[in-house]
C-alpha cells in the first residue's frame, strides 16, 4: 500500500501539454490535481512502455519539476528514480509542472522538433501512485502553426485539442501525434480507420485505403470481430524509417518516405500494417497472463513472446499473401529468408524459444557483439513455429481447421469470457485442442529445447520441401562478419564454432593482411584459398600488430529455397490451398 492509495476522495486530473520550445525538443507539462485530502502524494512515471520490453528509464528526460498551490511553491522530494513525493498536507489542489526532453526517433520514445510533436504517453505523463484507475483530461496547445492532433483518445466536446482517457492503462496505450500531418480515413470491417502521415512520402492514398482494407478484413475474419469503433495509424516517414509499436486502438509505424513506390518497399509497409494491426487482438487483448495489469516500475516477465510477437510475425506476411497482395512464390521466398536467418544464427542451438522471450529485457533488447552466438529472436523462430503449428493443424484436420481457429478460440475463451491472460499450459492446451494431439514432444524440442527444425516434415504436408543451395559447397570461411570502413576491415562478430572462433580472431580486430597480402575487402580476402589451408592472419588489436595462424574451415551457412515436391497428392494440395489461400 502507498500513502496515496489511502486517499479517500476521487482526484480530478487535468494535464496541459504545450510546446514553447519545440525547436529544442521539449514538451512542457502542467498537471492540475484537485480533490486532494492527504498529507503526501507520490507521482510516478513508467520506466517502460508495453510492447517494447526494455526498461527505458523515461524519467531521465524529465527536468524542472516543481509543485505549487495558488502560486506558492509546495515541497517536492524525489523518492525513487521515477517518483516524486509532493507535500500536500492541508491542500485540496496542487499544480505540478515539468518538462520532458524528446529527441529520439523511434516508435516508443518522444520526439519533438519544430515540425511535429510525437508523444509516447508512458514517457510523458506522470500518474498518482496506486491510482492507475483514475481518468484524466489532456489539453494540447500546439506549437506555432501546428493544426492537428491524431490519437485514439476520445476528444472532449468535439475539441480535437482536448482529449480524455478513462484510466492510465489506456492513456499509456494511446500515443499522440501533434503537427501538420496528412490525415486520411476509410471504413473497414465496420470500424472507422484514420491514417496520420508525418514526414511526407510517395504513398498513394487510394491504393493504401484499398489494400489496408483487405488486410483489416482478413485479420478481422480470423478473430470473428473487430473490437474497436475507431482505430488510428500514426505513420512516421523518414529518410530511412522502420519498426512499429502496437496499441489497443492505434499503432505507430516507422516507414521510409521513398519506400512506397517500389514493390518490395510497398509490400514491406503492408506487412508492417498487418503486423501491428494484428496485435490489437494478439497481445493487446489475447495476452500472456504476465502482460496486464502492468507493473510500470519493473520488468514484466513472460515466456510467451514467441506467441505474442512470433505468431504476429508469422501472420503479417501471411495476411498480405492471403489478401492476394503478394504472389505465392514471393511469400515462400520470405519464409525461406526467416528459416535461413534462424539456422545461420548459432544462438538458436543455445537459447530455447521460451527463454528468448523471458530474457527479452536483458538480451533481445540489449544486443551485443556476441548475441548471435547466445540467442535467437522470438520473432524469427516464433514465426517459424507458428508456421509449423499451422501446417500441423491444417494437415491433421484435412484442411478444415488452422491456427486461425486456435487464435479465435483463445481470444473468445480468455479475453472475452475469462477476461484474463493465458498461461503457458492454457495456450498449449488450445493448440492441442485443434491439432488433435499431445504437443509435449513438440514443446520439448522446439519451445523449451533447441532441436533443429525438421522443415520437410511440415512443409511436406503442403507438398513442398526445402533445398539448401549451399549444401555440399566447399567454400572456406573465417566465420566472422565485418565492418569495412574506407578499406579498413574490422571484425564485427565471430560466429561460434568457426575458424575465427577456434583460432582466436576477436571482435574489433582489424584484419590488415592474409599470408602477407594486404586486405581491404573481406569479400575477396580468401580468394584462392581452400578448406583446411593454414593461413596467417595479420591483425591490429588494441593498437598492437600481431599475426594469428588460422586453419580454414568449410562454410556451413545455409541458403534455402522452398520447392514443390514432384508429385503432389490431393491432400497436400488441399493443405497448400488452405494455408496460402490459393484461389
Interior angle at CA 116, CA 276 and CA 215, nearest 5: 20
Closest to Zn ion by CB, 40 or 109: 109
| Nearest approach, Cβ of residue 275 and Zn ion (Å) | 6
Query: How near is the Cβ of 279 to Zn ion at its closest, in Å?
Result: 6
Nearer to Zn ion, 312 or 383 (CB): 312
Minimum distance between the CB of residue 383 and Zn ion, rounded to whole angstroms? Answer: 10
Element (H, E) at 540: strand 534-541
| CA trace torsion 504, 507, 512, 515 (10° rounding) | 20
Beta bridge partners of 177: 118, 150
Nearest CB to Zn ion, comparing residues 312 and 493: 312
| Cα–Cα distance measured from residue 116 to residue 166, given in angstroms and rounded to the nearest whole number | 26
Contact range with Zn ion by CB under 5 A, out of 85-93, 260-268, 312-320, 342-350:
312-320
How far is it, in rounded angstroms, from Cα 555 to Cα 423?
41
Ranges within 135-194 binding Zn ion (CB under 5 A):
none
Q: Kindly state the number of chain residues that form the binding site for Zn ion, as judged by CB under 5 A.
A: 2
| φ, ψ (nearest 5 deg) of residue 231 | -145, 140
Torsion of CA 267, 272, 278, 280, to 10 degrees: -150
How many alpha carbons fall within 13 Å on the CB side of residue 538? 11
CB of 246 to Zn ion, least distance (A): 6
Q: How far is the CB of 277 from Zn ion (least distance, A)?
A: 10
**Is the distance from CB of 77 to CB of 130 less than 8 angstroms?**
no
Which CB atom, from 312 or from 380, has the smaller least distance to Zn ion? 312
Cis-peptide into 15, omega within 30 deg:
no
Residue 386 CB, nearest approach to Zn ion (Å): 13
143: which 3 cell numbers? 506549437
* Interface region with Zn ion, contact rule CB under 5 A, candidates 17-25, 262-270, 311-319, 478-486: 311-319
Nearer to Zn ion, 128 or 310 (CB): 310
Minimum CB separation of residue 428 from Zn ion in Å reads: 21
Q: Tell me the three cell numbers of residue 258.
A: 521513398
Q: Cβ 283 to Zn ion, closest distance in Å?
A: 7
Q: Which range touches Zn ion (CB under 5 A), out of 98-106, 308-316, 362-370, 489-497?
A: 308-316
Q: What angle do CA 3, 4, 7 make, to 5 degrees?
A: 105
Q: Which CB sits closer to Zn ion, 129 or 309?
A: 309
Region near Zn ion per CB under 5 A, out of 37-45, 257-265, 302-310, 450-458: 302-310
Spatial distance between the Cα atoms of 434 and 405, rounded to a whole number of angstroms: 7
> Nearest to residue 313, comparing CAs of 352, 275, 365?
275
Shortest distance, position 309 Cβ to Zn ion, whole Å: 5
Using the rule CB under 5 A, give the single segment among 5-13, 285-293, 301-309, 544-552 that binds Zn ion. Answer: 301-309
The contact mask relative to Zn ion for 483-512 (x = CB under 5 A, - = no) is: ------------------------------
Question: How big is the chain, counted in residues?
Answer: 583
Angle at 219 between CA 214 and CA 221, to 5 degrees: 95
Euclidean distance between CA atoms 88 and 69, whole angstroms:
9
* Consecutive H or E run containing 426: helix 424-435
* Stretch of 196-204, 310-318, 534-542, 545-553 contacting Zn ion, by CB under 5 A: 310-318
- What is the C-alpha to C-alpha distance for residues 239 and 356, in angstroms, rounded to an integer? 32
Cell readout for 294 is 502492468
Question: Which residue's CB is nearer to Zn ion, number 29 or number 273?
Answer: 273
- Kindly tell me which of 196 and 360 has the beta carbon lying closer to Zn ion: 360
CB of 31 to Zn ion, least distance (A): 31
Given the complex with Zn ion, which of 309 and 390 has the nearer CB atom?
A: 309
Tell me how far, at minimum, the Cβ of 345 lies from Zn ion, in Å.
19
In the bound state with Zn ion, the residue whose beta carbon lies nearer, of 384 and 494, is: 384
- Judged by CB under 5 A, which stretch of 64-72, 151-159, 176-184, 305-313 contacts Zn ion? 305-313
Nearer to Zn ion by Cβ, of 306 and 446: the residue is: 306
Minimum CB–partner distance for residue 51 and Zn ion (Å): 7
How do the residues of the chain divide into helix, strand and coil, expressed in percent and rounded to 5?
30, 30, 40
Which residues, 249 to 278, sit near Zn ion by CB under 5 A?
none
Listed ranges 254-262, 309-317, 319-327, 569-577: which one lies at the site for Zn ion (CB under 5 A)? 309-317
**C-alpha–C-alpha distance, residues 399 and 402, integer Å:** 7
Q: How far apart are the first and last CA of the chain?
A: 59
Residue list 440-459, contact with Zn ion (CB under 5 A): none
User: Nearer Cβ to Zn ion, position 45 or 307?
Assistant: 307
Residues that bind Zn ion (CB under 5 A): 309, 312
Amino acid at each position: 500500500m502507498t500513502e496515496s492509495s489511502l486517499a479517500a476522495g476521487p482526484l480530478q486530473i487535468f494535464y496541459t501539454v504545450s510546446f514553447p520550445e519545440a525547436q529544442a525538443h521539449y514538451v512542457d507539462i502542467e498537471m492540475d490535481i484537485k480533490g486532494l485530502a492527504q498529507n503526501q502524494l507520490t507521482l510516478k512515471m513508467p520506466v517502460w512502455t508495453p510492447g517494447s520490453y526494455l526498461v527505458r528509464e523515461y524519467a531521465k528526460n524529465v527536468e524542472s519539476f516543481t509543485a505549487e498551490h495558488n502560486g506558492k511553491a509546495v515541497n517536492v522530494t524525489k523518492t525513487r528514480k521515477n517518483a516524486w513525493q509532493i507535500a500536500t498536507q492541508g491542500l485540496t489542489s496542487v499544480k505540478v509542472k515539468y518538462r520532458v526532453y524528446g529527441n529520439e526517433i523511434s516508435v516508443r520514445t518522444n520526439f519533438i522538433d519544430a515540425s511535429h510533436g510525437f508523444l509516447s504517453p508512458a514517457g510523458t505523463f506522470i500518474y498518482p501512485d496506486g491510482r492507475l484507475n483514475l481518468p484524466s483530461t489532456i489539453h494540447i496547445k500546439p506549437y506555432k502553426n501546428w493544426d492537428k492532433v491524431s490519437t485514439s483518445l476520445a476528444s472532449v466536446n468535439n475539441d480535437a485539442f482536448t482529449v480524455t482517457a478513462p484510466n492510465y492503462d489506456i492513456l499509456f496505450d494511446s500515443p499522440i501525434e501533434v503537427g501538420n500531418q496528412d490525415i486520411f480515413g476509410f471504413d473497414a470491417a465496420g470500424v472507422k480507420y484514420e491514417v496520420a502521415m508525418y514526414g511526407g512520402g510517395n504513398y498513394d492514398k487510394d491504393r493504401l485505403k484499398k489494400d489496408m482494407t483487405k488486410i483489416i478484413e482478413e485479420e478481422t475474419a480470423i478473430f470473428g470481430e473487430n473490437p474497436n469503433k475507431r482505430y488510428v495509424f500514426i505513420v512516421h516517414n523518414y529518410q530511412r524509417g522502420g519498426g512499429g509499436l502496437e496499441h489497443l486502438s492505434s499503432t505507430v509505424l516507422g516507414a521510409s518516405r521513398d519506400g512506397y513506390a517500389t514493390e518490395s518497399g510497398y509490400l514491406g509497409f503492408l506487412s508492417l500494417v498487418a503486423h501491428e494491426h494484428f496485435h490489437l487482438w494478439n497481445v493487446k487483448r489475447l495476452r500472456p497472463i504476465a502482460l496486464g495489469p502492468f507493473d510500470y516500475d519493473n520488468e514484466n516477465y513472460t515466456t510467451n513472446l514467441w506467441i505474442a510477437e512470433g505468431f504476429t510475425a508469422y501472420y503479417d506476411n501471411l495476411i498480405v499473401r492471403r489478401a492476394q497482395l503478394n504472389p505465392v512464390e514471393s511469400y515462400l521466398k520470405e519464409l525461406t529468408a526467416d528459416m535461413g536467418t534462424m539456422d545461420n544464427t548459432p544462438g538458436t542451438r543455445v537459447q530455447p524459444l521460451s527463454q528468448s522471450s523471458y530474457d527479452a529485457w536483458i538480451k533481445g533488447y540489449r544486443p551485443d557483439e556476441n548475441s548471435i552466438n547466445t540467442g535467437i529472436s522470438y520473432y524469427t523462430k516464433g514465426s517459424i513455429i507458428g508456421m509449423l503449428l499451422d501446417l500441423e493443424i491444417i494437415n491433421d484436420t484435412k484442411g478444415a481447421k488452422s491456427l486461425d481457429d486456435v487464435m479465435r478460440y483463445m481470444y473468445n475463451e480468455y479475453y472475452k469470457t475469462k477476461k484474463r491472460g493465458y498461461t503457458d499450459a492454457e495456450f498449449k492446451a488450445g493448440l492441442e485442442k485443434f491439432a488433435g494431439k499431445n504437443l509435449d514432444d513438440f514443446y520439448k524440442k522446439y519451445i523449451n529445447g533447441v532441436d533443429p527444425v525438421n522443415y520437410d516434415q511440415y512443409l511436406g504436408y503442403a507438398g513442398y520441401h526445402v533445398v539448401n543451395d549451399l549444401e555440399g559447397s566447399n567454400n572456406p570461411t573465417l566465420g566472422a562478419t565485418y565492418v569495412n570502413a574506407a578499406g579498413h576491415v574490422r571484425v564485427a562478430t565471430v560466429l561460434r564454432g568457426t575458424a575465427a572462433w577456434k583460432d582466436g580472431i576477436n571482435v574489433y580486430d582489424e584484419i590488415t593482411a592474409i599470408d602477407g597480402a594486404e586486405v581491404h575487402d573481406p569479400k575477396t580476402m580468401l580468394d584462392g584459398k581452400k578448406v583446411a589451408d593454414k593461413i596467417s592472419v595479420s591483425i591490429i588489436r588494441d593498437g598492437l600488430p600481431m599475426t594469428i595462424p588460422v586453419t580454414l574451415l568449410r562454410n556451413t551457412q545455409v541458403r534455402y529455397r522452398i520447392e514443390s515436391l514432384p508429385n503432389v497428392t490431393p491432400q497436400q494440395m488441399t493443405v497448400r490451398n488452405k494455408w496460402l489461400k490459393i484461389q
